[in-house]
């Protein structure tokens, strides 16, 4: 029930339309706060499964179950969604109307739905519904050519997910033909074997949808305009929470359902992610807009998570999952800071600014912490995730590990360039903007605390994660496949 | 023995009663409208209580839950049309009787088990609509009426020719006898081909769709709403019945052919809808595309496909009724054309109307938690179970195009600007609320409707 409650409560946000104008934000904060409390309840006390799981026979005629579970894999991503949403709601300007808050809450609800769904159709429903609130957040309130940005987001994402619909239905139909039992439960579908002519296409339909949603190179076309046009809290939600949907789905759906296909395609997948890693970092280095540095940096980080997943090793998968949580908190905070930065300076151009550390010391300090966490400083959240991913990479493919190592240096470079350009050096303008308010310091301080906690105690998360790697027998088959020989 | 036809009998009595009422009452009275609504509601209530399967006259009249579902859908369309047209000053006293008569035609097509009844139903559906289409006394209205009449008469002729060939080939008029009797393949194939052309014309399948945009644009909006839902229900029901009962053994070739036509229709319909500026024309082209979706289910030539086609008619019908209701409210009494630009700022001027329109567009686009998603899901399942992967991919491609079609008006609605606004009447309010709630209900909890449809489609697949 708790999982269902987490999905349901944001819908109460419809009531925001009835509140008087001054109370709308307070109402949204309450709802987002309740979500965080529910997560805390799930985290702190061990629960009987009846509380953590709902499994209703939703549409018996189609074999669809409404199966949500707060399992170890989902738990911390749900937490990430609730925390980042609360932070985004708190950081939103007071003038926003009820629709804005409702769409943010709805994005949270559907993201939690994707994280907790264990039935493929329920998963697909949340996966697609999440597009609607973001479409409105991008198109309704953002600046400039926002309408085209919103339409691009929608059409690119639905392009992927509609082909995935064929894959979803095909999994169910093939399973029904094999067993005579129509179901879309992930646990049952994991034992379905597709015929060799169909399997690669179904796998591809899922993979492309996940790559677009993440986004990973080369299907990241919607990302730059969306991150650039959206207001800072919305960017924080998209990059902090929603970008995790794609990589999370790889762990949740691809690894159990298609590990044979993944192992077969592993060199290609690795190459794809490695190119994305280099591409994102390279573009982040060239950006002149502070928000775009972080956006392309994020593209590179997503590729890092994908690399971890594609290793198909326990270390890589755990590392990627941990990195999703850490990255969400870091990037959420970073984009909020950049939003405040833009608010104060009126500009996002890297070259125009500089020397802000003299006038806004608090903003500079927090910015530095988040920048260092993002580039993977040991002791902060980013490092632990990257370390585990490296462990998986070295077990699996030493060449890609070497490439990733070089990229870590680049990552340090572009983040420090961002920090230096914006904050240090001679003052570019004569104005002296106001520093962060106490409320803003409190908000970013809470996120900063999380970054530190995750950095020094990653086991708090990783010990909850289940065994994610495919069973050993499969791993053996993969190994022999990679060497090109027959299993011994 | 006849009691399974009671809904149709109630509807037929209703037509006569409404006609008499129209003659006796003054021309400004709403009494005929009330008669039409009450008799349709009574027929609907009676139909929803029936649970049986029987046939009369050696399979000429098929009373089963399939025909009940068709009757229910048709009556919903009739009632929605009446409520949208609730303005005797404007539409006249004879409007309700004509609309009910057309609905009766669609119901006859639902229980028709032989070619005579099929043709009877088709003509009963078409003739009142020729009159209704031309009832706007403007050049556009005249164009619509004339175009519909000429094209419709032409297609009826083709259908009749096909029926004659089939009779010549088999010596029988009844669908179930077609497969059993020794056949002359060439004659049968030609007969079936002509028959299909006639029915596909009514369903507005590419390349027999050219009349649709002009007729919808020129017809009064309530009539266009009925044509978009009721006519397609009748045509799809008859198509499914004749193919399943009469030609299930030759499904391999007509399934393939209809599959190609379905893909062509879905993609072409949605592609041409994309640049439309007039909302009624956009909905007309979307109706063409959606007819293609229905055809996907028929082309799957299996039980799942039949269920999916029958089910999809309802989400589509509700969504298109919803959209036409919005047009009806915005165009006002003077029926000024509603363009995409007149939607500008609607979300701030008339939020409830905007919510209704949003639900319609989300459902037509096939976003989950609306009825349209369940419909598309089911259609894809039917196509994959029939091993028609290409049709499934075509459906997905058309849906991607459809997204751009349906989200452009939505963006207009939220864009700042001054567009049209109009006043609700009780009738439009009821249709808006009922169709929107129905769409969301079926999207969130489709089981009751799915169950009823699955029960009914079982009877279509005898072999």
Name which of B396, B414, B415 is nearest A166 (Cβ-Cβ): B396
Is the same domain home to A84 and A121? yes
Is the same domain home to A309 and A237? no
CB contact under 8 A, B447 and A59: yes
Pairing label, strands B54-56, B61-63: antiparallel
Is the same domain home to A151 and A281? no
| Residues in B touching A151 (Cβ below 8 Å) | 404, 407-408, 411
**pLDDT in single tens digits along all 488 residues of chain A:** 788 888 888 888 888 888 888 888 888 888 888 888 888 888 887 666 667 788 888 888 888 989 888 888 888 899 999 999 999 998 888 778 888 899 999 999 999 999 999 899 999 999 999 988 988 888 755 555 777 888 888 888 888 888 899 999 989 888 888 888 888 888 888 877 778 888 888 999 999 999 998 888 888 888 888 888 888 888 899 988 998 999 999 998 888 888 888 888 888 998 898 898 888 888 888 888 888 888 888 888 899 899 888 888 888 888 889 999 999 999 999 888 888 888 877 777 776 666 777 778 888 888 888 888 888 888 888 888 888 888 888 888 788 888 888 888 888 888 888 887 777 777 666 666 777 788 888 888 888 888 888 888 888 777 777 777 665 444 444 444 444 434 43
Is the same domain home to A296 and A366? yes
**Omega prior to A214 cis, within 30 of 0:** no
Domain-located, residue A241: yes
| Residues in A touching B396 (Cβ below 8 Å) | 162-163, 165-166
Name which of A59, A60, A151 is nearest B407 (Cβ-Cβ): A151
On whether the CB atoms of residues B72 and B48 are closer than 8 A, the answer is yes
Closest residue in chain A to residue B453, using alpha carbons only:
A61
Beta bridge partners of A66: A56
Domain-located, residue A256: no
Is the same domain home to A90 and A32? yes
On whether the CB atoms of residues A386 and A455 are closer than 8 A, the answer is no
- B/e letters for A378-412, b = 16+ CB within 10 Å, e = fewer, are eebbbbbbbbbbbbbbbebbeebbebbeebbebbb
Domain count, chain A: 2
CB contact under 8 A, A154 and B407: yes
CA angle A115, A120, A123 (to 5 degrees): 35
CB contact under 8 A, B381 and A173: yes
CA angle A135, A140, A141 (to 5 degrees): 115
Under 8 Å CB-to-CB from A48, ≥6 apart: which residues? none
Is the same domain home to A460 and A384? yes
Cα of first residue to Cα of last residue in chain A, in angstroms, is 47
Is the same domain home to A45 and A192? yes
Distance CA A308, CA A133 (A): 30
Structural domain span for residue A276: 265-480
- Residue A308's CB is within 10 A of a number of other CB atoms, namely 34
On whether the CB atoms of residues B226 and B99 are closer than 8 A, the answer is yes
Beta bridge partners of B112: B61
Is the same domain home to A240 and A321? no
Is the same domain home to A179 and A41? yes
- Residue A34's CB is within 10 A of a number of other CB atoms, namely 17
Domain-located, residue A138: yes
Domain-located, residue A260: no
Q: Could you give the C-alpha distances from A325 to A154, A239, A250, A379, in angstroms and in order?
A: 25, 12, 15, 16
Domain-located, residue A151: yes
Is the same domain home to A352 and A426? yes
Domain-located, residue A174: yes
Residue listed under structure tokens 């029958």: B310
Pairing label, strands A64-69, B54-56: unpaired
Domain-located, residue A76: yes
* CB proximity B297 to A under 8 Å: no
Name every residue in A having a CB less than 8 A away from some CB of B: 58-62, 121, 124-126, 128-129, 131-132, 135-136, 139-140, 147, 150-151, 154-155, 158-159, 162-163, 165-166, 169-170, 172-173
Is the same domain home to A276 and A190? no
Distance CA A83, CA A80 (A): 5
Of A187, A221, A251, which one is at a domain's C-terminal end?
A251
CB contact under 8 A, A62 and B378: yes
Of A251, A284, A309, which one is at a domain's C-terminal end?
A251
Distance CA A45, CA A229 (A): 41
Q: Could you give the C-alpha distances from B325 to B41, B221, B355, in angstroms and in order?
A: 20, 8, 12
DSSP state of A23: G
Report ipTM for this prediction.
0.88
**Omega prior to B311 cis, within 30 of 0:** no
Distance CA A115, CA A249 (A): 8
Is the same domain home to A127 and A5? yes
User: Which residues of B, range 433-462, sit inside 8 Å of A by Cβ?
Assistant: 445-447, 450-451, 454
pTM of the model as a whole: 0.89
Give me the total of CB pairs closer than 8 Å, taking one residue from chain A and one from chain B. Answer: 79
Of A251, A279, A299, which one is at a domain's C-terminal end?
A251
Phi, psi of A53 (to 5 degrees): -125, 135
Domain-located, residue A487: no
């Amino acid at each position: 029930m708790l999982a269902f409650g987490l999905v349901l409560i944001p819908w109460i946000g419809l009531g925001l339309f009835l509140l008087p104008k001054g109370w709308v934000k307070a109402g949204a904060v309450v709802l987002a706060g309740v979500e965080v409390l529910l997560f805390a309840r799930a985290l702190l006390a061990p629960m009987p499964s009846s509380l953590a799981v709902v499994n209703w026979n939703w549409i018996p005629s189609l074999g669809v179950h409404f199966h949500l579970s707060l399992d170890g894999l989902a738990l911390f991503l749900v937490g990430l969604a609730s925390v980042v949403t609360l932070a985004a709601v708190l950081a939103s300007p007071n003038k926003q109307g009820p629709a804005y808050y409702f769409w943010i809450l709805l994005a949270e609800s559907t993201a939690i739905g994707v994280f907790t769904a264990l039935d493929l159709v329920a998963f697909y429903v949340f996966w697609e519904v999440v597009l609607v609130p973001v479409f409105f957040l991008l198109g309704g309130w953002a600046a400039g050519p926002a309408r085209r940005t919103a339409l691009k987001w929608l059409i690119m994402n639905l392009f992927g997910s509609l082909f995935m619909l064929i894959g979803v239905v095909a999994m169910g139909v093939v399973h029904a033909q094999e067993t005579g039992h129509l179901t879309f439960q992930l646990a049952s579908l994991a034992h379905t074997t597709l015929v060799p002519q169909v399997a690669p296409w179904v796998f591809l339909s899922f993979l492309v949808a996940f790559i677009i949603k993440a986004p990973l190179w080369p299907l990241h076309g919607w990302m730059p305009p969306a991150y650039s046009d959206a207001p800072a809290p919305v960017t924080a939600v998209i990059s902090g929470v929603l970008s995790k949907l794609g990589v999370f789905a790889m762990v949740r759906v691809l690894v159990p359902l298609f590990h044979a296909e993944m192992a077969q395609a592993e060199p290609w997948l690795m190459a794809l992610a490695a190119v994305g890693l280099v591409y994102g970092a390279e573009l982040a280095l060239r950006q002149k807009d502070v928000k775009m540095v972080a956006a392309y940096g994020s593209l590179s980080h997503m590729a890092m998570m994908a690399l971890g997943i594609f290793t198909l090793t326990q270390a890589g998968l755990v590392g990627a999952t941990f990195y999703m949580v850490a990255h969400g908190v870091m990037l959420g905070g970073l984009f909020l800071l950049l939003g405040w930065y833009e608010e104060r300076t009126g500009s996002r151009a890297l070259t125009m600014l500089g020397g802000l550390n003299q006038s806004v010391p608090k903003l500079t300090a927090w910015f530095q912490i988040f920048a260092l966490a993002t580039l993977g400083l040991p002791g902060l959240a980013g490092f632990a995730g990257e370390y585990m991913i490296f462990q998986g990479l070295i077990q699996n493919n030493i060449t890609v590990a070497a490439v990733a190592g070089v990229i870590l240096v680049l990552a340090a470079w572009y983040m420090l360039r961002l920090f230096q350009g914006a904050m240090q050096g001679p003052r570019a303008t004569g104005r002296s903007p106001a520093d962060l308010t106490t409320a803003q310091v409190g908000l970013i301080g809470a996120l900063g605390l999380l970054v530190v906690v995750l950095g020094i105690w990653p086991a708090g998360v990783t010990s909850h994660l289940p065994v994610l790697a495919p069973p050993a027998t499969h791993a053996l088959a993969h190994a022999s496949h990679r060497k090109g020989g027959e299993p011994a | 023995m006849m009691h399974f036809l009671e809904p149709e009998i109630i509807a037929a009595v209703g037509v006569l009663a409404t006609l008499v009422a129209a003659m006796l009452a003054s021309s400004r009275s709403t009494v005929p409208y009330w008669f039409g609504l009450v008799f349709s509601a009574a027929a609907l209530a009676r139909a929803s209580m029936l649970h049986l399967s029987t046939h009369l006259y050696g399979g000429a009249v098929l009373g089963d839950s399939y025909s009940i579902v068709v009757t229910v859908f048709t009556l919903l369309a009739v009632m929605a049309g009446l409520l949208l047209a609730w303005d005797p000053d404007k539409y006249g006293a004879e409007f309700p009787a004509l609309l009910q008569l057309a609905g009766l035609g669609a119901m006859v097509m639902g229980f028709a088990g032989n070619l005579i009844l099929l043709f009877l139903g088709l003509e009963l559906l078409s003739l009142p609509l020729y009159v209704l289409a031309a009832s706007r006394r403007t050049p556009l209205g005249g164009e619509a009426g004339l175009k519909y009449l000429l094209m419709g008469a032409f297609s009826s002729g083709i259908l009749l020719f096909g029926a004659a060939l089939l009779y010549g080939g088999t010596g029988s008029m009844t669908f179930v006898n077609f497969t059993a009797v020794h056949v002359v393949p060439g004659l049968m194939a030609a007969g079936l081909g002509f028959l299909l052309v006639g029915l596909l014309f009514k369903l507005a399948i590419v390349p027999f769709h050219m009349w649709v945009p002009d007729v919808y644009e020129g017809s009064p909006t309530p009539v266009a709403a009925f044509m978009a839902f009721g006519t397609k229900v009748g045509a799809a029901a008859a198509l499914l019945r004749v193919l399943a009962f009469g030609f299930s053994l030759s499904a391999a070739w007509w399934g393939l052919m209809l599959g190609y036509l379905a893909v062509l229709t879905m993609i072409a319909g949605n592609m041409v809808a994309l640049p439309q500026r007039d909302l009624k024309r956009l909905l007309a082209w979307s109706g063409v595309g959606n007819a293609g979706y229905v055809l996907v289910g028929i082309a799957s030539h299996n039980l799942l496909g039949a269920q999916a086609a029958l089910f999809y008619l309802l989400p589509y019908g509700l969504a298109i009724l919803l959209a036409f209701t919005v047009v009806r409210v915005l165009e006002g009494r003077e029926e000024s054309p509603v363009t995409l630009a007149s939607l500008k700022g609607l979300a701030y001027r008339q939020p409830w109307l905007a919510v209704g329109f949003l639900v319609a567009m989300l459902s037509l686009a096939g976003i989950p938690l609306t009825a349209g998603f369940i419909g598309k899901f089911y259609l894809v399942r039917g196509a994959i179970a029939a091993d028609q992967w290409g049709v499934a991919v075509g459906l997905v491609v058309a849906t991607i195009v459809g997204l751009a079609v349906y989200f452009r008006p939505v963006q207009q609605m939220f864009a700042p600007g001054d567009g049209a606004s109009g006043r609700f009447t009780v009738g439009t309010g009821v249709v808006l609320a009922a169709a929107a709630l129905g769409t969301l209900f079926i999207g969130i909890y489709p089981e009751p409707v799915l169950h009823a449809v699955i029960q009914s489609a079982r009877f279509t697949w005898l072999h």
